[in-house]
Amino acid sequence: MVNGTPFTVIGVAPAAFFGESVQADPPDLWMPLTLQPQVILVLLIACANLANLLLARTAAREKEVSTRLALGAGRSRIIRQLLTETLLLSCFGGALGLLCAYWGTRALVRFVVAGSDNIALKSGPDTQVLAFTLVA
| pLDDT tens profile 31-59 | 445 556 777 788 889 889 988 988 898 89
Tell me the average pLDDT across 46-75: 90
Count how many Cα atoms sit within 13 Å of the Cα of residue 54 in the half-sphere of its side chain. Answer: 12
Mean pLDDT of all residues in the chain? 77
Q: Is residue 3 part of a domain?
A: no
Residue 42 or 119, more confident? 42
Number of folded domains in the chain? 1
Q: Is residue 36 part of a domain?
A: yes
pLDDT for position 76: 93
Asked whether the beta carbons of 109 and 31 are under 8 A apart, the reply is: no
Q: Is residue 53 part of a domain?
A: yes
Residue 36 or 98, more confident? 98
Range of the domain at 32: 15-135
pLDDT for position 32: 47
Q: Is residue 113 part of a domain?
A: yes
One-letter identity of residue 97: G
Task: Say whether 109 sits in a helix, a strand or coil.
Answer: helix
Q: What is the DSSP letter of 2?
A: B
Output the CA–CA distances (angstroms, integers) from residue 130 to 87, 95, 127, 134, in the order listed.
18, 11, 5, 6
